[in-house]
Structure 1
């Protein structure tokens, strides 16, 4: 079959994340494979259909290694690029083959089904405390910000405990994560954030070297000490940062988006509260499909010319996974793909990626959400949004899909 290049003007992906789903609809309309422009004027491609993207992430003809991107080898990326912190990393996210397996194994050993189940009592305790304390944080207008007092501290505390992060570093990790995922920043702020991340991870390693514990950081320190070839110092710091940042940012967005969806769809919320076993799991999976925590992510580099849906992506060019677009693909989910429906039969999605790089923290994120959502929504059965749903400011990010604040009234 003859292959052709996409001919329409490329869509500029919005670094401010003002309308992820409006942008996603435009991407789907442009076709199954379309050219896009990343922040900073950097060209790439987007695969906008579920099945095509599912196949692509398993394709050995694509690489996760950003060093194989022609824009990198030809020195075409802007200085202090706003996506530097989520693209130019040295951990399992940007590794292939044996290197990927080596870097991933150390983390997966800490996130087995058994170890995640063992976290349940502590998770229950954190959730109960946050739910109980919400009324203490009501502002003068009678609302409480669920982002600040519930959705952010829950996964941040969980992941920091898993990593053995001392409490005095929690807020720094939170702020640095917000900076990395803010794709409107540029210039010296990008560079300063990267330097501060390195300093913070080095500080964590020093702390845990002096205070060894049963945590992931201590485990990785021992691995490096016993066999430095298995984990370089750069890989150690980068792996810790990947777990710390992605381990709470995406779960935070999942919680916020689920609460928003339920409060905007009271019939669905009623079904969740009254439903049988597995109903809250259905809420989580439908949220991940319908309004997942990641909008767009630069995910692969073509190693050879690749033809998808009659469109050729040239070797060396980058490919974006537009999860907001794929999650509502009508070819996969039917004509009602735009509808939030926890009874939907086909809720399989790509919110956690796919193939060898399927999110290592997916099990933990799901458990946090399935624990937190019923505890919150059943403790405050009259909760409602405090502002018009168009009012919350979106996270300023091409990648993160959620809002900065979620003010609600807990009682009538």
Structure 2
């Protein structure tokens, strides 16, 4: 195999990271990445078994030091801490609170509303396409589905939902720009995005106050009413800052990732028309196919942990206090776990375990909701436009080492 350089901030790598991931898996599975002028030194794990083991050991690989290889990304943005940057037992306790809004039963109740929304969006886009307009599949379809669902979940009134979409985009932009100090001083993150972030914080601060004055049957209302036991056994309500942190993690973790799943699914099917035909002939394959799409194009490419002690991984010692990237996207294509066809889409593939939603204590709390949205969106899309085609060459991706997704992808044919 020809050597391939792993450079997580190189646009050429970000355009197609999979050759570099394959090289790491085979030749340097416990990779030490040196510091340079763009980022400090860190380690990277790329084999499935190594990543699977590490994310399930928070006592060794901690989330409390941040989820990127940049220092203090949350502090630089001035946003509340979230459960994804905590370790058990506190993380377990707080996760149970937000989990009330994501139970399979509660998520299933949303299906009829999601289906109605998706059908209306498809009708609108088809009418515009028929009139000769350019239709952006990702921005005007895929991204609108999670934005609608998150607004429903958080109890954002319909009158305010036009404001909600730019906040989601702002969070996505700030995450994907990398969290380094240069990004936050203007070389990447735009002033518009930071302004939208401030507006979102102000809006939800007022919404929290309204829920405290008058309870509501939505996730925000449930968080305001939730009680948490302190270390001394006393019970108290979550602070406004705590609830804002929950809002942040719901919006940041549940919007762009789900939108990218929908667009990636269609792009993968376009590359494999035989697999599309299988789904069209047997729609019952779709739930399993969604896991396959996530495996091949992981919306979250990788997140970091910090070692709390020296740890041996496959004969290499990673010292305490080091940042370690968990390369989910590399692990999800490991032929040791998924066989010799790991790089090819197979909608009939049996996948007993994967890392698209991580694993262990930080397994994605919104996984049921993400799969529901993508399933409904693709069911309706493939029924209404079974051979829809995207102009991926004209599309534009995010440039981020942490997530893989789209900014825009035009429709080539409906």
TM-score normalised by structure 1 residue count: 0.85
Which runs of structure 2 are paired with 1:314-333 in the superposition (5 Å)? 314-333=319-338
Report the Cα distance in structure 2 between the residues aligned to 1:204 and 1:223, rounded to whole angstroms: 17
Report the Cα distance in structure 2 between the residues aligned to 1:68 and 1:344, rounded to whole angstroms: 31
Structure 1, 17-26 or 113-122: larger mean CA deviation: 17-26
Q: CA deviation at 1:361?
A: 0.2
Query: For each residue in 1:7-39, what CA deviation from the matched residue of structure 2 results, as whole angstroms up to 9, or x when unmatched?
Result: x99843126532232342343244221123589
Query: For each residue in 1:88-139, what CA deviation from the matched residue of structure 2 results, as whole angstroms up to 9, or x when unmatched?
Result: 8611101111210222111101111110111111111111111221123339
Given that residues 51 and 327 in structure 2 are in contact (C-alpha distance below 8 angstroms), is that contact kept between their aligned partners in structure 1?
Answer: no
Which residue number corresponds to residue 399 of structure 1?
402
Given that residues 81 and 245 in structure 2 are in contact (C-alpha distance below 8 angstroms), is that contact kept between their aligned partners in structure 1?
Answer: yes
Report the Cα distance in structure 2 between the residues aligned to 1:27 and 1:134, rounded to whole angstroms: 42
Given that residues 102 and 230 in structure 1 are in contact (C-alpha distance below 8 angstroms), is that contact kept between their aligned partners in structure 2?
Answer: no
Report the Cα distance in structure 1 between the residues aligned to 2:143 and 2:5, rounded to whole angstroms: 35
C-alpha RMSD of the superposition: 3.1
Does residue 280 of structure 2 align to residue 281 of structure 1? no
Which runs of structure 2 are paired with 1:189-338 in the superposition (5 Å)? 189=186, 197=197, 199-210=199-210, 212-223=215-226, 229-275=236-282, 277=284, 279-298=285-304, 300-338=305-343
Candidates 134, 138, 144, aligned match of 2:129:
138
Which residue number corresponds to residue 16 of structure 2?
19
Detail structure 1 runs of 4+ shifted over 6 Å in the superposition: 224-228
Given that residues 164 and 208 in structure 1 are in contact (C-alpha distance below 8 angstroms), is that contact kept between their aligned partners in structure 2?
Answer: no
Q: Secondary structure of 2:406's partner?
A: coil
Report the Cα distance in structure 2 between the residues aligned to 1:347 and 1:407, rounded to whole angstroms: 34
Given that residues 224 and 237 in structure 2 are in contact (C-alpha distance below 8 angstroms), is that contact kept between their aligned partners in structure 1?
Answer: no
Distance 1:407 1:191, change over 3 A: closer
Report the Cα distance in structure 1 between the residues aligned to 2:297 and 2:124, rounded to whole angstroms: 27
Does residue 411 of structure 2 align to residue 408 of structure 1? yes
Does residue 101 of structure 2 align to residue 92 of structure 1? no
Does residue 29 of structure 2 align to residue 32 of structure 1? yes
Given that residues 46 and 331 in structure 2 are in contact (C-alpha distance below 8 angstroms), is that contact kept between their aligned partners in structure 1?
Answer: yes
Query: For each residue in 1:222-257, what CA deviation from the matched residue of structure 2 results, as whole angstroms up to 9, or x when unmatched?
Result: 337999845233222121111012111110111110
Report the Cα distance in structure 1 between the residues aligned to 2:184 and 2:388, rounded to whole angstroms: 42
Given that residues 353 and 359 in structure 1 are in contact (C-alpha distance below 8 angstroms), is that contact kept between their aligned partners in structure 2?
Answer: yes
Distance 1:129 1:242, change over 3 A: same
Which runs of structure 2 are paired with 1:139-154 in the superposition (5 Å)? 143-154=134-145
Which residue number corresponds to residue 5 of structure 1?
none
Distance 1:206 1:89, change over 3 A: closer
Unmatched segments (≥5 aa) in structure 2: none
Query: For each residue in 1:133-157, what CA deviation from the matched residue of structure 2 results, as whole angstroms up to 9, or x when unmatched?
Result: 1123339866421111110000111
Unmatched segments (≥5 aa) in structure 1: 1-7
Candidates 162, 176, 186, aligned match of 1:182:
176
Structure 1, 191-200 or 89-98: larger mean CA deviation: 191-200
Does residue 115 of structure 2 align to residue 124 of structure 1? yes
Given that residues 20 and 401 in structure 1 are in contact (C-alpha distance below 8 angstroms), is that contact kept between their aligned partners in structure 2?
Answer: no
Report the Cα distance in structure 2 between the residues aligned to 1:230 and 1:144, rounded to whole angstroms: 46
Given that residues 305 and 314 in structure 1 are in contact (C-alpha distance below 8 angstroms), is that contact kept between their aligned partners in structure 2?
Answer: yes
Which runs of structure 2 are paired with 1:338-349 in the superposition (5 Å)? 338-346=343-351, 348-349=353-354
Given that residues 147 and 165 in structure 2 are in contact (C-alpha distance below 8 angstroms), is that contact kept between their aligned partners in structure 1?
Answer: no
